[in-house]
Amino acid sequence: MILYIFLFTFLIKYSENAIFEDINLINLNIYSKAKELDSKNLTFLMINGDVPSLYSNGNLLDTRFPMTKNTTYEILKEISHLSLSILSQFGKRCDQTLSKEQLDDFNILKGKMFLMYERILTDPLIPNELRLNQIKFLNESIKIVLSTITKKNFDCDDLKNYTLEVKPMLEKNLHAAALSQLLDMKDLMITWIKKYNFLDWNKTYILICNAHMPKEKHIFVQFFNKLFSIETKCDRLVYSETMNDGECINLLKAHITDKILAINLFDDPTRMHKDLMADVAEEIIPKLFSESPINININ
């Protein structure tokens, strides 16, 4: 008898869970289909890294790879990444001995830097003033890399001297690189807006696919905010923290379906772009902690 009761209770609980799982699966299935229907004739401009692609009615209309033949930007980017590689290697490891893997990585950096020397010296598109700055930058980078390889140790003084020398150079690099990239994007947009004047550019979605974190201050977010007088919170500009085309476009589709749901239910196009419980949580949390605070200083 006890066994029957146990089995009956188990079946009821299992059935309840199964029902909820079935509803969830049905919801996901319907949502997936809705995304495809809602974005069937979608027109959008996707910037994946440095590569712009224009889609009309869901089909690729035009793309530009590379966006520019101006090698100034690419050189500046490589130089800046070189510095980041060195700083990443050091991290918080001052005065620690290099592992074999770390030593190998520094030797790879050394080889890369000598190859970059040739490009900087011979590339006719790099202005002479900028060229001199890059040579100085490389010299400082080579000096710390060779010192680290020789000592087989992360020297704190070497790191301090390196950052003092290269930081002003890096700032100049950033300005020159940003200007080069923005001028190229501006020229491209002038060309595309004229060439594809049958598109409604004031309703075209902007999809930016890039690395984690930059978001609102990303160079192209700022550019398109200005060009089309839109804001990051506006439903026309979407930033996806992935550089996979399929995943990036899928996020845009979800964004559009969520916008339609939010308008239908809340009369607010941005409501589904945040946690449904966000607003009530904002009200509850201050009261929750004022009434019964948690002591985090246990020690």
Per-residue pLDDT tens over the stretch 11-21: 455 455 555 56
Q: Give the pLDDT mean for 223-241.
A: 81
pLDDT-based confidence at 2, cuts 50/70/90?
Answer: low
Tell me the pLDDT tens digit for each residue of 134-153.
888 888 988 999 999 999 99
Cite the DSSP H helix spans in the chain. 2-38, 71-90, 100-122, 128-151, 156-195, 219-228, 245-266, 278-291
Mean pLDDT of the chain: 82
pLDDT-based confidence at 3, cuts 50/70/90?
Answer: very low
Q: Are 240 and 44 in contact (CB under 8 A)?
A: no
Q: Is pLDDT above 80 for 43?
A: yes
Q: What is the pTM of this model?
A: 0.76
Q: Give the pLDDT mean for 213-241.
A: 81
Q: Give the pLDDT mean for 105-134.
A: 82
Query: What is the Cα–Cα distance from 128 to 105, expressed in whole angstroms?
Result: 31
Q: Is pLDDT above 80 for 35?
A: no
DSSP-assigned states of every residue in 236-283: TEEEES---HHHHHHHHHHHHHHHHHHHHHHS-TTGGGS-TTHHHHHH
Query: How many Å from the N-terminal Cα to the C-terminal Cα in the chain?
Result: 53
Of residues 73 and 60, the one with the higher pLDDT is 60
pLDDT of residue 279: 85
pLDDT-based confidence at 8, cuts 50/70/90?
Answer: very low
Any idea which of 26-30, 90-94, 159-163, 192-196 has the lowest mean pLDDT?
A: 26-30
Calculate what percentage of the chain has a pLDDT beyond 90.
25
pLDDT of residue 185: 92
Q: Are 23 and 185 in contact (CB under 8 A)?
A: no
| Burial zone of 286 (CB within 10 Å; 0-12 exposed, 13-18 middle, 19+ buried) | exposed
